[in-house]
Structure 1
């Protein structure tokens, strides 16, 4: 035990940038070391969700785009890292006003920044470097959600331009409103791990992108009927969802930002209960509506439930987590069908339904199910309607959802319209038929499947 305390304390001092100043660790040092280690581990789990997105999206789309779709997760996270360090973290959590943070650019971990500039994060003693890493991977997830909605038809330049502007000026504003001491935070909005901040923001941007890009070639017939464009590897998608489910044990429990008190274990339980309920409810719903127990809907049911419970995991009882997850799985099925067949938005992976619609439901759910003892424990907001709290918390949740959706929709629309009239959003018809692997990168993700090893000149014959 003594060696363990020494090791953890050494890690703590390394993360904070201090020298190892004591021969014997104090209890406080050990607690700080454990908390810091937990936040780093949780952040790494969330980072690993990028692998889940890569497999899920590549499996849910066609073979000719698989390498591009998987590989863009690396580019996306790299862009997010640099921009969030330079700009995004400051706007989200830096000292400023009720709308945006205005200080803390190009993050360093100087003592004045820890105490003054990022006071919105002072509720936890975890080192600022660990806080940055944890919040960075959240931003990276939100951006990854966007790419799913525009899969198989967007130019590579869009990744650079929109990715930088989204992480720099769209995502951080919503984050500041809710988590960084902004106006929704002062109203007591409950969004524990980001159903709105992360998922609704990414899902809304995906909806805007899908609307502006238009459907993939062959998605809709002249009479308006929809054609199914199946993905090339269901096994990839299944593995991707398992990885995402796994990563969510960092996403939600890690948002406690501390291991001390072990509340993160409760959050892990409600998270898992919701995911399981979403899987079962979505599969049964798809079976009843479509006549077949569709695996894709089951996978999205898991994700929709995880998205929904992300806001409420720390505020609701286990039975409520099951209800929230099940409802998320059910509404996701109907949302996907509605946007595909009625609105005619080609969203290849159901990004808006899974992350946007489920994110809205999850955020609103605390207005119904937030339990008084858990609200008191977290110190955020008020109890929900079903616990005698009236409509006050539900109204705050609705206001937060509406304002966040409106801001992200308008900001994303402006950015993407500017890109469209300057460098363009969509690849050419020939490039789309060939596939992004060859047309954008000059190499197929499955070269042995194409004539001449997937060279550009022969690739069109395979499609």
Structure 2
């Protein structure tokens, strides 16, 4: 069979996008490991189940409704319609790859957005209401913001906003959605004292969290270069380079800044610093120089540390730092593009117009995401309820929501535990020390 150069190009691009979609899908494993490692063992199955919900309920919601709302025929620059369940050709998009390949790539993005919220609501949210939220996030929260920026008819796209792989559309939207969810849900029991001081609730397995961080970093090589939608695009190597440099700079600064600020290099901030660098470079990875990507990552590594402190002070309990990583640095990434873009950036002689458009765009999608998520969580709270009981929270959501612990034989029954005695930074009842099977190595339970 004779193959034309055009059909060969289409084939190569299709394989490229499918491969990158698989890498982005693998990031769900990264989210699962990172979040499970950062929280207590008694809730680790539940958080993995929430991430699994993102890959199932979220994918179905995006197939049924979300993709059409995002990339369907434009209505007043606000939303799309038509082609529900990915029916029709979507020829108005002008794609060179099959629509199914494009849908799969975008569906992986939608799942990633929902998983940003899962970490922020960890350890105290009911499972069923989270499933409802995931459906809404993939069907409406993400697609409408995406339509504004990535559909050629979207009002922000018409103004000239750029967001190559989603610092604003994916990460700022996910991060500020997480803040709204946390505000309605409330903090974990025992996180804050009456005087406003913060109790540290340590991660139960930092090795697991590091594995998750490495998987997320690896998956970003699909997230950013894959957004070119072409394996023949000569920029994919430079996109990969700027992506990697920003991550390295963010992780480096997370270690150095905490060493200077607290006297020790914080492992959790090293991880979140790298992720913050990845988030911040995502919007401008195709438009900035390698040197600029390093600066963007270094600033992201500082911002994430300061943001985690800030949200603790305002009692927005986020067990994994999702708001700081994705919300704060999603905004920084969009603004950084307005500063550092080789074509039109403020530092490259472009003036303030492009930066102003970037600022308007990221604020708009953030307000949209925060507002709609706040409404969804408020309605769920008023109807089915979103918070587990105090006893269930003490017992752990693995048992109360799923009936199985993550580590059989290691988790003590904590129904009667009352927080009163400080051991290793956590409050435990003194009598617990005499409980069979208890050891100081198990205080994270």
TM over 0.5: yes
Please give the secondary structure, in 2, of the residue aligned with 1:106: helix
CA distance in 2, matches of 1:450, 1:201: 36
The Cα shift of 1:102 comes to: 1.6
2:116–2:178 contact (8 Å) kept in structure 1: yes
Choose from 223, 228, 242 the match for 1:251: 223
Please give the secondary structure, in 2, of the residue aligned with 1:219: coil
Give the aligned partner of residue 171 of structure 1: 142
State yes or no: 1:426 paired with 2:402: no
Give the aligned partner of residue 79 of structure 2: 100
Give the aligned partner of residue 60 of structure 1: 38
What TM-score does the superposition give when structure 1 sets the normalisation length? Answer: 0.88
1:64-103 mapped onto 2 (5 Å cutoff): 64-97=42-75, 98-103=77-82
State yes or no: 1:114 paired with 2:90: yes
In structure 2, the gaps of 5 or more residues are 418-431, 439-444
CA distance in 1, matches of 2:283, 2:169: 9
Give the aligned partner of residue 239 of structure 1: 211
CA distance in 2, matches of 1:195, 1:156: 28
The Cα shift of 1:345 comes to: 1.1
CA distance in 2, matches of 1:73, 1:347: 16
The Cα shift of 1:457 comes to: 11
Please give the secondary structure, in 2, of the residue aligned with 1:275: helix
In structure 1, the gaps of 5 or more residues are 1-22, 373-382
1:142-157 mapped onto 2 (5 Å cutoff): 142-157=113-128
1:249-328 mapped onto 2 (5 Å cutoff): 249-328=221-300
CA distance in 1, matches of 2:414, 2:15: 48
Query: Would you identify which runs of 4 or more consecutive aligned residues in structure 1 move more than 4 Å?
Result: 454-458, 460-463
Please give the secondary structure, in 1, of the residue aligned with 2:90: helix
CA distance in 1, matches of 2:54, 2:386: 16
State yes or no: 1:401 paired with 2:362: yes
1:439–1:456 contact (8 Å) kept in structure 2: no
Please give the secondary structure, in 2, of the residue aligned with 1:101: strand
What TM-score does the superposition give when structure 2 sets the normalisation length? Answer: 0.92
CA distance in 2, matches of 1:66, 1:151: 9
1:253–1:264 contact (8 Å) kept in structure 2: yes
Q: Deviations over 1:257-290 (max 9, x none)?
A: 0011332111101000100000111111111112
CA distance in 1, matches of 2:408, 2:302: 39
2:281–2:333 contact (8 Å) kept in structure 1: yes
The farther-off stretch of 206-215 and 248-257 is 206-215
Choose from 332, 357, 363 the match for 2:304: 332
CA distance in 1, matches of 2:113, 2:193: 32
Q: 1:457 to 1:227 in 2, by over 3 A?
A: closer
Choose from 119, 123, 140 the match for 2:111: 140
Higher helix share: 1
State yes or no: 1:436 paired with 2:436: no
The Cα shift of 1:210 comes to: 1.0
